[in-house]
Chain A
Amino acid sequence: MKILAIDTSCDETATAVTENTKILSNTVWSQASLHAKFGGVMPSLAQRMHEEHIDWVINRAMTNAKCQMINIDCIAVTVGPGLSIALGVGIAKAKELSKKYNKKLIAVNHLEGHILSSLANNKYSAGDIKYPALGLVISGGNTLLIKINKIGEYQTLAQTTDDALGEALDKSTRMLGLGYPGGAILEKLARGGDKNVYSLPIPISGQESRKIFTYSGLKTAMNRLVESEKPLTKEKIYNLAASFQDTAFTHLTRVISYVIRNSEYGAGSLLVGGGVSANIELRKRLRKLGKQFNMKVLFPYSKKLTGDNAAMIGIAAFFKAQRGEFAEIGKIDRDPRAKL
């Protein structure tokens, strides 16, 4: 089944053509490709940019997939969560194409896209997932652990009560005077630093039973620590970066461990998605967690699938289509705070 997928949930205008779980093309127009992703935005500009670029990006995706509308079976579009005025652009375009070419519409939750992104290009197949499985979305906008009973049936187990993990990493980098977003730089610096020079408090240490992720306290502690260490030297910056990243990740894995250890069902697989899942150190720790609990850990095959993209939307849509979950053109609408 060939699907044309559209995602305009935030800064990127993304389209893709997928065939089942295989990617035929995956095109992303960053609001300004050279601009830092998720850096400063102008919502009115974002909306106009999406409107200006969407046709071009769709054509590009179709050309790269060597595909014409006649070969397309369905059109999938992200309805949320995301920036309301941005989501509207993708939805309007999907409706227009659906009418014009008489194609069925599929409404996709952006988070489900991230959850299923590791199935892209058959790096893993749906049959590799052992149920019940866990899904982990770690990005600039979300930090979410869910139980997957089967594809399409999810239940939230833990989520952030304040900042998302990616947001916390970005903000801490900014405290170090290194611009925004800085998650990627922080990762580089952390590799060269000693995480044991400073000690930051691990969020809700010992109270993992609360089953939440929280980064506000850590952020404050980091702010105070950075202030007290000023003037910053290169060495201090490296060590602070290492310390913050270590603490943030330790909190994440501790809560996940708690959830697995105290669940009646255990977990057969862990599906990881979202921008922060590109972080090598975090991958290492999650794999270790997988070994500990005899749980297979699935990551997307490429960085193109960890950031926002439409290929993952096409894949999520494929499973929805199999279940017959199509959207009515008159009813499909944006849902900026969509839940799984």
Chain B
Amino acid sequence: MLTIKAGENVIKKAVGVLKSGGLVIYPTETLYGVGVDATNPKAVKKLSEYKNRPLGKPYSIAVSDIKMAEEYAGLNETAKNLYKEFLPGPLTIISKGKHKVSPGIESEDETIGIRIPDYKLVTDIVKELGRPITSTSANASYKKPPYKINDILENLSQKQKDLIDLIIDAGALPKNDPSTVVDTTLDDPVTLRRGEIKFSENNQVLSRSEENTQNVAKEIWQKYEGHIGKRAIVFALEGEMGAGKTQFTKGLARAMGIMELVTSPTFALENEYREGKNELFHFDAWRLEKSDEMVALGFPDLIRNKSIVSIEWAERVADTIHEFDDEAIVIWIKIELGKNENERLISWGVKQ
């Protein structure tokens, strides 16, 4: 273990250590970080031993600029926006990985966290190395966040200390918060098929208020409630943020005689409401990353049990809904913003 002060020749030394698979403790604008060459599997394994955490937990990486980021991750508009506005800076941005780093860096669902530290020494090292280094805090898992070298060393075993090849000591760092993490992958375009749904002009109404939207739901419900007990009834809701998908479901619940308060299921993914023998299963697919996650949430069983289901952001899981087109009555509902503040254009259709 070699400790050097931040200063001359540091970059050269650090790059040398990293190239030979070594482990470097380095300062950033937030905390002390620990870096290894993110493309060297042996080095990444060494890092896992140092951090003393089992495999399966991803590490974020530091790159020198957006160009390098694009080599390792697919950046969508949201990500590019964030890079432009906030990097370099204390922000870690999650994107879809391109699998060009060693195993253990990307998450199980193949995403990767990238940051550009607002600390020239680090970006210079990365630039010189020509590939990303890991950017995780230098403490062992579940120990105090490190603002000075002693914070780190005090909490390490001798075995862990032996894994350090180089420490770049910049003294006590200002106590800035660790970097904030933002996921941009939810904004990736959804490429699922809704199927052949005809939204005819006859099945279109203008709603002028939330109350109105709830009443439209009631009217649509009355058209299909005859199927209760014979087949599952699925209301597949599409519409942008704030369109009124939850309002629509409130109307459904009320029409079914459910008195309980219906709220957004975004966080819980699924809410269940019961009143006597009436049951409504209310899903939100917005945070789901894959269509077949609806299976894990028990959607096929609900269809089999001839349940009544409402799904917000249904287009995100259209593939899975589609599989039950014959078994269930699937009503697609599209809610679009109208010209005036409270106006909504609501159209609906079923597979022909």
The answer to whether A163 and B264 touch across the interface, beta carbons within 8 angstroms, is yes
The answer to whether A35 and B94 touch across the interface, beta carbons within 8 angstroms, is yes
Number of interface residues of B (CB under 8 A): 60
Contact of A42 among B91, B93, B180, B288 (CB under 8 A): B288
A216 on interface, CB distance cutoff 8 Å? yes
Known: A83-B268, A185-B182, A219-B242. A177 touches B77 (CB 8 A): yes
The answer to whether A42 and B267 touch across the interface, beta carbons within 8 angstroms, is no
Q: In the complex, what distance in Å separates the CA atom of A336 from the CA atom of B269?
A: 11
Known: A27-B142, A167-B264, A216-B247. A34 touches B60 (CB 8 A): yes
The answer to whether B186 and A84 touch across the interface, beta carbons within 8 angstroms, is no
Q: In the complex, what distance in Å separates the CA atom of A37 from the CA atom of B122?
A: 27
The answer to whether A162 and B264 touch across the interface, beta carbons within 8 angstroms, is yes
Q: In the complex, what distance in Å separates the CA atom of A220 from the CA atom of B335?
A: 13
Binds A, one of B64-72, B104-112, B124-132, B216-224: B104-112
Q: Which one of B93, B113, B182, B261 has the highest number of Cβ atoms from chain A below 10 Å of its Cβ?
A: B182
Known: A41-B288, A45-B109, A164-B267. A185 touches B180 (CB 8 A): yes
The answer to whether B181 and A36 touch across the interface, beta carbons within 8 angstroms, is yes
Contact of B296 among A47, A141, A164, A181 (CB under 8 A): A47
Q: In the complex, what distance in Å separates the CA atom of A302 from the CA atom of B264?
A: 28
The answer to whether B242 and A39 touch across the interface, beta carbons within 8 angstroms, is no
| CB-defined contacts of B94 to chain A, threshold 8 Å | 34-36, 39, 179
Contact digits for A3-44, partner B, Cβ 8 Å, 1 yes 0 no: 000000010000000000000000101001111111111111
The answer to whether A161 and B289 touch across the interface, beta carbons within 8 angstroms, is no
A224 on interface, CB distance cutoff 8 Å? yes
Q: In the complex, what distance in Å separates the CA atom of A219 from the CA atom of B243?
A: 9
A149 on interface, CB distance cutoff 8 Å? no
Contact digits for A157-199, partner B, Cβ 8 Å, 1 yes 0 no: 0011111101100010011011111101100100000000000
Q: Which one of A37, A43, A160, A188 has the highest number of Cβ atoms from chain B below 10 Å of its Cβ?
A: A43
Number of interface residues of A (CB under 8 A): 61
| CB-defined contacts of B186 to chain A, threshold 8 Å | 39-40, 174, 179-180
The answer to whether B247 and A44 touch across the interface, beta carbons within 8 angstroms, is no
Chain B minimum-CB-distance residue to A28: B142
B287 on interface, CB distance cutoff 8 Å? yes
Known: A52-B56, A216-B242. A179 touches B184 (CB 8 A): yes
B337 on interface, CB distance cutoff 8 Å? yes
A–B pairs, 16, beta carbons within 8 Å: A32-B57, A34-B181, A35-B183, A36-B181, A42-B109, A42-B288, A44-B295, A52-B56, A64-B142, A83-B268, A141-B268, A161-B263, A185-B86, A216-B247, A224-B341, A337-B271
A-B residue pairs, 10 tightest by C-beta: A39-B183, A44-B296, A220-B242, A179-B182, A141-B267, A36-B183, A219-B242, A34-B113, A40-B289, A179-B184
